[in-house]
Structure 1
Amino acid sequence: MDERFLEGRTALVTGSTSGIGLAIAQALGGAGARVALNGLGSHEQIEAAVASVCQAGAPQASFLDANLADPAAVETMMQALAGWGPADILVNCAGVQHTAPIGEMPAATWDKLIAINLSAAFHTMRLALPGMVGRGFGRVVNIASVHGLVASVNKSPYVASKFGLVGLSKVAALEVAGAGSRDSGGVTVNCVCPGWVETPLIEPQIAARADQHGGDREAGVRALLAEKQPSGRMSLPSDIAATVLFLCRREAHNITGSAIPVDGGWTSQ
């Protein structure tokens, strides 16, 4: 299959200055897309992320700053993207997490998580999808979570936002399912639902479990995953990126409205 199948396409990946989002941006760039990044980080971190996407093969990469909790800022970002090139591919990867029992969850934290994890995706989609429909090609991939399919304690706003993201994606998929054709690639909306993914954010949890096993990191990983993920293996950010990349292929024109778990069997239990 053509490895540069996204040449001439423009992609926006939110939450793409590190971790899963950056891996997705690099994969899209490697397939030939121009990529707009958005996310948090120092000036140096952002510059390094943009440079890495170009090094991966993107003909152009740029950073669009926006506070995703602010609908007006999201709209400004999408207007800037439209001036650079209409969005053919939209990946909503930005997300935040906070754990506490419902009775101890600050109201402001609930509002923040719903705004960034769910409402921001609604706003990018409502602004990007009409153009995709008009052109007969578009890909929206929302990075949800296994917590968009099953719940865990002490994660009420996160689980609510991810369940909401899966539902929102299904509605959007139905609304645009008839756009385009098999030849043009159509317009699809899907969720990818990762389980445990090896990113710097979870290293403290791995280290804590490793300490319980004499400093053995692999034993720590197995202990951490034993609670949820039957495979006993974490995914890499590049594994999630590869799943997203396949959904962007023309051949994936009839994969829409799906919530695809990449979770080592977690949600099969």
Structure 2
Amino acid sequence: MRGLNGKTAIVTGGGSGIGRAICRRFGEEGTNVAIFDMNGEGAQKTADEIVANGGKARAFTVDITDRGQVDKAVGELAAAGRIDILVNNAGWDRIVPFLQTDMDLWKKVIDINLYGALNMHHAVLPHMVESRAGRVINIASDAGRVGSSGEAVYSACKGGLIAFTKTVARELARSGVTLNNVAPGPTDTPLFAEVAQGESGEKIVEGLKRAIPLRRLAQPEDYPGIVCFLASDDAGYITGQTISVSGGLTMHG
């Protein structure tokens, strides 16, 4: 895609799942990939795969809920050159009916899915504004658009992220910075596998497959194309948008 070769992209949660697939694609496009993940081993594995394939990548062990760690890693990267792209992909959830949850679970879900993204935006966007150029792609969720049973607080975070993205897209439009959301549907990732265990988990999976018009769960590889497009020069006139990638499970227009 146009305009990705030689750029520098930060991808949070790039140590596995959707994040790893996005990192690999950026590497194939000639982008310098900075992988932020609290799982340093996973981040390094992603970086090694990109380098082995002829790309450029560097792993950073970062807990995005810790602002000090975020500032340190972003500062180190910014000192080496311009930060062109930010993909906020890191996320976490546990499927539990809201009335069976507690404040400890709320805090963990909100810290990772909302405060983590806020930390990354607040640390990275000043560099983009100074450069008067930048692309931010937030991995939201269709849970934030239509809700999802058992994911009330997660849905609230993703809905908040979608609204936040639209607001900051308005605020920074004249600075040459665009922000957009990609909203995945149910995806076959390690996190989903933790949930879909046993007989009840199998029923959830089969029920989802029946509900999705394309009759399958998404794979991590279903997302890098739209993410890289939104990061490319071809998407220069797109900002404040939310694009669902859900096999037709949710259709907006």
* CA distance in 2: counterparts of 1:64 and 1:254, whole angstroms: 31
Tell me which amino acid in the other structure corresponds to 1:55: A
Shift of 1:263: 0.8
Unaligned runs of 5+ residues in structure 2 are none
Tell me which amino acid in the other structure corresponds to 2:178: T
Aligned to 2:190: 200
Matched, 1:11 2:39: no
Matches within 5 A, 1:114-133: 114-133=110-129
* CA distance in 1: counterparts of 2:43 and 2:174, whole angstroms: 38
The higher radius of gyration belongs to 1
Aligned to 1:29: 27
Matched, 1:191 2:189: no
Report runs of 4+ in structure 1 exceeding 6 Å deviation. 209-212
Matched, 1:99 2:95: yes
Secondary structure of the residue aligned to 1:64 is strand
* CA distance in 2: counterparts of 1:192 and 1:56, whole angstroms: 26
**Aligned match for 1:224, one of 203, 208, 218:** 208
Aligned to 2:147: 151
* CA distance in 2: counterparts of 1:201 and 1:111, whole angstroms: 18
Tell me which amino acid in the other structure corresponds to 1:33: T
* CA distance in 1: counterparts of 2:225 and 2:80, whole angstroms: 25
Tell me which amino acid in the other structure corresponds to 2:213: P
RMSD: 2.3
Unaligned runs of 5+ residues in structure 1 are 181-186, 213-219
Aligned to 1:238: 221
Q: How many residues align?
A: 251
* CA distance in 2: counterparts of 1:136 and 1:42, whole angstroms: 31
Aligned to 1:217: none
* CA distance in 2: counterparts of 1:57 and 1:177, whole angstroms: 35
* CA distance in 1: counterparts of 2:78 and 2:105, whole angstroms: 31
Q: TM-score, normalised by structure 1?
A: 0.84
**Aligned match for 2:165, one of 145, 163, 169:** 169
Tell me which amino acid in the other structure corresponds to 2:231: C
* CA distance in 1: counterparts of 2:201 and 2:161, whole angstroms: 34
Shift of 1:66: 1.7
Matched, 1:52 2:49: yes
Matches within 5 A, 1:34-113: 34-41=32-39, 43=41, 45-58=42-55, 60-113=56-109
8 Å contact kept, 2:181–2:241: yes
8 Å contact kept, 1:145–1:162: yes
**Which digits, 9 at most, give the CA deviation of each residue in 1:162-203, with x for residues without a partner?**
0011011111111111223xxxxxx21011001022223334
Shift of 1:211: 6.9
Shift of 1:123: 1.6
Q: TM-score, normalised by structure 2?
A: 0.89
8 Å contact kept, 1:221–1:232: no
